[in-house]
């Protein structure tokens, strides 16, 4: 694909990057005295649409703005499928739970997937698995049947999460762009590590762990599964031999510290894209930068709302893209 295809888009993104929150802005947000002050600070920075009141509305509006801009700049959004599959599979999970529990809570669904959420709900409701994209069909059917027969929500989650990771990995591996490949690899590897730790903590069987872990090139999932079945110590020993040895300190602190470590690693990797004038990389990096910004603001706002100590919030705050 020609690099010059996105020249206009990259130039616009360069201007848009000027309005992203940098470390100093996050510091200002952190030093706000109250939740209301935080909301006012964000509104002054142009967040929301003037009518948004709550944090969730504000963040949802910002996410909509990001995708509206990207939709304007890129004709074929399928290049970003690797970012969107997680939403699809989240919606599939929500649809299965919605249908199986006959609940009416539509707030669980996410926008901006590759498949319309109403189509997913309809497919699950009518058990019309063939109307779903091919990679979703079998996991959807398996998860639906598992939830109906066993009422085990965790098993349903495992089946769909594993399928989501496989889809993300396939999309990344099939991309010509290093950034998408790295994103997919890191997403799958970090999810595997988190799952392994959770399984080790709850004493899951080796069979269950094998089913939950998705293959990726930076981890040997068989070794990781065996280590998880043995316990946390074994996971530490195994990870020390991989690219994720540096993550051990964060992992030993807390799962949220590890998530922060993974997010910071992605941001560190994509930061040089700020100096690229061509290609899809700067656009993809902007999306990741915005998602990271929204996630960080959500952490700060919920911390302020729940009167968490500053140190507890600070531990979770991510590095910024700009």
Footprint on this chain of another protein (rule: CB under 8 A): 4, 7-18, 277-278
DSSP string, 215-231: PBTTB-HHHHHHHHHH-
Q: How far is the CB of 296 from another protein (least distance, A)?
A: 21
Cα–Cα distance, 90 to 112 (Å, whole number): 11
Quote the distance between the C-alpha of residue 255 and its chain's center.
Answer: 15
Q: Which is nearer to another protein, 13 or 184 (CB)?
A: 13
Q: How far is the CB of 11 from another protein (least distance, A)?
A: 3
The closest of 236, 295, 309, 222 to 62, measured between CA atoms, is: 295
Q: How far is the CB of 4 from another protein (least distance, A)?
A: 6
**Block residue for tokens 């109906």:** 148
Q: How far is the CB of 80 from another protein (least distance, A)?
A: 19
The closest of 53, 43, 119, 110 to 83, measured between CA atoms, is: 110
9-32 exposure pattern, b = at least 16 Cβ within 10 A, e = fewer: bbebbeebbeebbeeebbeebbeb
Please say whether the beta carbons of 132 and 123 come within 8 A: yes
Q: Which is nearer to another protein, 246 or 277 (CB)?
A: 277
Cα–Cα distance, 208 to 223 (Å, whole number): 14
83-101 exposure pattern, b = at least 16 Cβ within 10 A, e = fewer: bbbbbbbbbbbbbbbbbbe
Q: How far is the CB of 43 from another protein (least distance, A)?
A: 20
How many residues appear in the chain?
Answer: 322
Q: Which is nearer to another protein, 11 or 312 (CB)?
A: 11
The closest of 299, 290, 274 to 65, measured between CA atoms, is: 290
Q: Which is nearer to another protein, 13 or 143 (CB)?
A: 13
Q: Which is nearer to another protein, 18 or 134 (CB)?
A: 18
Q: How far is the CB of 320 from another protein (least distance, A)?
A: 15
Q: How far is the CB of 322 from another protein (least distance, A)?
A: 9
Cα–Cα distance, 165 to 215 (Å, whole number): 9
Q: Which is nearer to another protein, 106 or 278 (CB)?
A: 278
Q: How many Cβ atoms sit within 10 Å of the Cβ of residue 252?
A: 11
Q: Which is nearer to another protein, 3 or 207 (CB)?
A: 3
Q: Which is nearer to another protein, 3 or 222 (CB)?
A: 3
Q: How far is the CB of 60 from another protein (least distance, A)?
A: 23
């Amino acid at each position: 694909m020609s690099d010059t295809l996105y020249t206009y888009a990259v130039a616009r993104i360069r201007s848009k990057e000027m309005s992203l929150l940098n470390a100093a802005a996050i510091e200002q947000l952190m030093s706000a005295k109250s939740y209301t002050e935080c909301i006012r600070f964000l509104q002054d920075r142009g967040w929301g649409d003037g009518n948004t009141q709550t944090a969730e509305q504000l963040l949802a509006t910002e996410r909509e703005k990001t995708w509206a801009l990207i939709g304007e700049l890129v004709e074929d959004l399928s290049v970003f499928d690797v970012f969107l599959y997680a939403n699809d599979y989240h919606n599939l999970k929500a649809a299965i739970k919605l249908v199986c529990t006959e609940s009416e809570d539509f707030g669980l669904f996410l926008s901006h997937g590759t498949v319309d959420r109403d189509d997913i709900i309809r497919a699950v409701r009518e058990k019309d698995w063939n109307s779903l994209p091919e990679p979703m069909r079998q996991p959807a059917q398996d998860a639906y049947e598992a939830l109906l027969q066993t009422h085990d929500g965790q098993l349903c989650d495992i089946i769909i999460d594993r399928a989501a990771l496989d889809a993300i990995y396939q999309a990344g591996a099939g991309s010509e762009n290093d950034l998408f490949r790295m994103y997919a690899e890191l997403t799958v590897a970090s999810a595997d590590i988190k799952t392994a730790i959770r399984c080790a903590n709850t004493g899951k069987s080796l069979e269950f762990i094998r089913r939950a872990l998705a293959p990726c090139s930076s981890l040997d999932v068989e070794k990781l599964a065996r280590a998880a079945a043995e316990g946390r110590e074994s996971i530490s020993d195994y990870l020390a031999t991989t690219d994720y040895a540096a993550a051990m300190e964060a992992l030993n602190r807390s799962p949220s510290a590890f998530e922060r470590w993974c997010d910071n690693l992605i941001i560190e990797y994509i930061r040089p894209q700020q100096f690229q004038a061509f290609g899809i990389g700067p656009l993809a990096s902007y999306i990741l930068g915005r998602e990271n910004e929204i996630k960080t603001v959500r952490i700060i706002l919920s911390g302020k709302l729940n009167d968490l100590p500053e140190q507890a919030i600070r531990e979770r705050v991510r590095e910024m893209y700009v």
